[in-house]
Amino acid sequence: METYTLITGASGGIGYELAKVFAEKKHNLVLVARNIDKLSSLKDSLEKQYKVKAEIIEKDLIPEKAAVELYEEVEKRKLIIDILVNNAGFGDYAGFLDSNWEKQRNMVDLNITALMHMTYIFGNDMKKRGYGRILNLSSVAAFSAGPYMPIYYATKGFVLSFSEAVAEELKGTGVAVTALCPGPTLTGFESAAEMKNSKMFTAFGAARAKDVADCGYQALMKGKAVQYHGLPTRLMNIGSRLFTRRVTRKFAKSINGVPEK
């Protein structure tokens, strides 16, 4: 039976570029996002250019039962998912006490809970079949506390730790888990998070989403537990080992900058 790669947050940014990379490598796709029009356009483009099959599912993964509902839809269509890409996520740029509570809670639900649930549901199927790959999108933010983006940094730290632990647990099963840690990337994230006062995207320069996607694909297929991309990520990884947390969080604060109220 034919197998499929399921990508969440596929309508833009790194998810969009990952969809193109997987299609180029002749993977059939299940593309998931909230914007059905963008998904439809991507489906048509990939099927025409790369001659692969692409299924699209309109789904907001924040609600509690969303992962189960998505799994049930995949089962209904009789699709076998042998690769899962947990790309969906978002950030916010504000002091915690000045932020919108619902937005912060939704960030945790999407960046952490949905990713966990998807990994659990589809990972169990992969383990039973004896083969699978799971790519979880972490970030340079995983290596430090992040003043003015505290929840985003914390969620990405969770994704890295969680992915590494599950990767170790699954050794010898045929299933591999990879945490991809890109630095600042041109995806529209910076404008969505209204990061006008942040040096994050100017101090080191921002990577192209396509380059991050290529890097992530290669690491995933090699079964690497962690993959860094970009100079900022490598420097923060080293810095988090050489310096105290006080130093790294103050550095992150200076890079993030103080948002306008």
Catalytic residue list contains 93? no
With CA atoms as reference, report the closest residue to 92 among 158, 138, 147, 149.
Answer: 149
- List Cα–Cα distances, 210 to 59, 134, 217, 221, 257, in angstroms: 24, 19, 11, 17, 27
**Given 16, 148, 152, 217, which residue is catalytic?**
152
With CA atoms as reference, report the closest residue to 152 among 167, 160, 142.
Answer: 142
With CA atoms as reference, report the closest residue to 41 among 18, 84, 10, 71.
Answer: 10
Give 240-243 contacts, CB < 8 A, sequence gap 24+. Answer: 240/143, 240/144
Active site residues: 152
